[in-house]
Structure 1
């Protein structure tokens, strides 16, 4: 089965609306179904959305929509800029109305359906919440941001480093990271990985590692800049909301209440990331699976987690993280959005944790005194961002710090605040909190395997490469060799962000 390069959605939409802007930052998404008329679906969506508002006649395309279905090409993906996405409209207002589309399953053959009643119940519960959230509005396809998010950037205090993002440890497959880059380095990096290092181990004249120290109030946006001023990480902060502290404490209490009721499998009580119990939720594609699947839990745990995930506190935390992601990295955010939307349209068994979240999965560390070991999340997209939100009640000047090993830096991490890092590329861990304190964390992320599943036409890499000719295989290998360069082109530089907002960078 050969794969089709998908046509440029941005160009089609711009043609319809009379726009002449052309975007040069893009990426490939492949379709496995040549019968799927994507252009027609875009026109239908625009018609359904705009006609009731503007009284327009039915939209028609200048070009025929016949032929293979297509999505954004590498050269022309829609890319919002910071000034465009900031809008006085509600962040929940959808840009395009959801349009029913033919399922890719008809072309590939339906994936095997589990007969297990527990799995069916899990899917039904998630779909129920997905349908309810859709009725409330909100689409990650074109996130609109409140002007307050502009002030978020204006208050930023960048932290410059000598880190080289071009050295991200990306695997030859192009979608996951290497665990340490090579076997020798991996062995060295993994020494002491089951150790929780205290603050006095990390910083100070008599410390073992003599790392630098970054005080942080948990509010001031602090982009982490590499040696080319790319924003490769971000101390994102929290909303300017007087009720946020009460909300984060409620989230911590909700997690604690759930922890007491959950039954954790033995391998989740202590694992390679932490000695605290953890539970993932959402969907992924890794570990030898033949297709993306939802994370499975027992019926009892599923009901508890379902209620916890959709609590008001966690829903607001998730929404804030996606808003900040879109604000600082609009191109990378759009990359995540496009792939996630295509995947969900093609796979009926999958759905988002939250309708306005751009990530496919999340993990809750249930503490009650969470301190992660030194680790990489190497199954995530190497150039992608994950969000980490700390919760609880602890003195962030004495414990709960985020240790960024590749930067030789220890960062204060107050409860209620969110930090973004490429968790597949940078080793990270935490310092412990005191015995009478509490610390929990919520992370959001997307497995790299989901991106290659879409790029490979909703099939395994083995089947995809088996369908290619020698020439096509060579071209694909060349593309994968440039995957990190493509990914880094989606990153914003700090100068670029400031130029968009017409503010001095101060660098």
Structure 2
């Protein structure tokens, strides 16, 4: 017997082979009930809690079969599943209270000052491979006195800087007015920059230890950038901006 929807589409009773659940203990209704409870308990706002004590799940098995189905049931007709009894009222109350306490503890942990926050756990293998051999580069910088933008994303310029490229001998050495320190680096091991309080504010990332094809890959990458350069067009504000006189 065919039925026709208001859209004009028609459908009839399923007479093909049914796919039966192998696990006889599988109960769809109980999983739906559990999912509803978990979604309710995971709500972040305590005021949005609602009670599902009287809520029931009805899997209308009579809708599965067609209204005009024959008297003899089809051999592959689905068997209606039974809805399990709802958990006792005390169980739901304890679950709700436990989730409220968990959300409260997470909010309190989020308000802990940075200086009181526990240190992040680092895997021992990661510490041995990357952190322990990373020789820090000390500086006299005091981060608490550095001016930054409102978002803290970039540092603020104290005064306009000349837009020219300096030579190495102008930056370091006895005749340099800047008196920068030249730090030699082989480009492999990671080296962090630390301020006068041992706070890391920069990092020379290095390169993978076991990468024999690293150099040719980097040369190919540099050649690709150089070959693409003539085909790139920048606007004026992209050539000279707050982070320096370079295209970005």
TM score, norm. by length of structure 1: 0.26
Of structures 1 and 2, the larger Rg is shown by 2
| Structure with a larger share of its residues in helix | 1
Using CA pairs under 8 Å that are at least 6 residues apart, name the structure with larger relative contact order, 1 or 2. Answer: 1
TM-score normalised over the length of structure 2: 0.49
